Amino acid sequence: DTEVTQTPKHLVMGMTNKKSLKCEQHMGHRAMYWYKQKAKKPPELMFVYSYEKLSINESVPSRFSPECPNSSLLNLHLHALQPEDSALYLCASSQEKLRQGAGTGELFFGEGSRLTVL
Amino acid sequence: SQQGEEDPQALSIQEGENATMNCSYKTSINNLQWYRQNSGRGLVHLILIRSNEREKHSGRLRVTLDTSKKSSSLLITASRAADTASYFCATAPTGGFKTIFGAGTRLFVKA
């Protein structure tokens, strides 16, 4: 069983809706990630938070807005999405503080939120 | 840009056979990791090998790393139907903060 919990498991939304994806971990990890995965493709990094601060934004469109309210929670706010944004959104966490040259260690993934945009 | 490329893209074997997957990458790395993903599920970490290591074992898994060739291999011995999944290598480039995933190998183990 994963120790990273994502809700909801499935989400269907229209292009004018506003919704949020939520992620929670209680492993004391201080780095948290959002990845997007299309069918039969690898996960693509979207955002990285380190110590509740946004460290990396991989040029993600502004219709995706991340938020890290505290060290255990990570949200992804969705607004005015396009059908091509339909994908599996994966949250992950890792123990290491991000620092120059160190890279990241083992990532712990949630089961993902399957998003369909109509 | 995508850091890791995997070979083969798909692999079908009989239960009990060994499965070998290869990964190549482009830049220098801190470590290389292998993950498994069952269809539509989250990824599960299998093993991490650091850039100064050449081989690592974990149960039925054996990973090798050749930094001179910028390549790694994952060997699953005595495969089982439950090993059916997609397998991804992931690299942490030196000087970077990101873990980047390769294209993945889809393994199908027939009972």
Across the interface, whether the CB atoms of B29 and A103 are under 8 A apart is answered: yes
Residues of A in contact with B90 (CB under 8 A): 107
- Is a pLDDT exceeding 80 seen at residue B2? no
- Is a pLDDT exceeding 70 seen at residue B66? yes
- Is a pLDDT exceeding 90 seen at residue B107? yes
Instruction: Calculate the average pLDDT of chain A.
Output: 91
The confidence band for A99, taking pLDDT boundaries of 50, 70 and 90, is low
- Is a pLDDT exceeding 60 seen at residue A34? yes
The dihedral sign for the CA sequence B29, A74, B103, B56: positive
Tokens of A46: 């979207």
Residues of B in contact with A106 (CB under 8 A): 33, 45, 48
What pLDDT shows up at residue A103?
53
Greatest Cα pair distance, chain B, in angstroms, is 44
CB contact residues (below 8 A), chain B span 18-77, against chain A: 29-31, 33, 35, 40-45, 48
Nearest Cα to Cα of residue B43 among B89, B78, B3, B5: B89
CB A107, CB A93: distance < 8 Å = yes
What pLDDT shows up at residue B3?
59
Tokens of A39: 């069918």
CB A107, CB A3: distance < 8 Å = no
- Is a pLDDT exceeding 60 seen at residue A22? yes
Distance from CA of A18 to the nearest CA of B (A): 24
The confidence band for A101, taking pLDDT boundaries of 50, 70 and 90, is very low
Check CB contact of B1 with chain A, cutoff 8 Å.
no
Contacts of B63 (CB under 8 A, 6+ apart): B32, B34, B47, B49, B55, B56, B57, B72, B73, B74, B75
Instruction: Calculate the average pLDDT of chain B.
Output: 92
User: What is the average pLDDT across B27-44?
Assistant: 92
What is the rounded (10 degree) CA torsion for A58, A61, A64, A67? 50
CA B13 to chain CA centroid, nearest Å: 17
What pLDDT shows up at residue A19?
96
Across the interface, whether the CB atoms of A104 and B94 are under 8 A apart is answered: no
Regarding predicted confidence, which is higher, B31 or B14? B14
Q: Tell me what percent of the residues of chain A surpass a pLDDT of 90.
A: 77
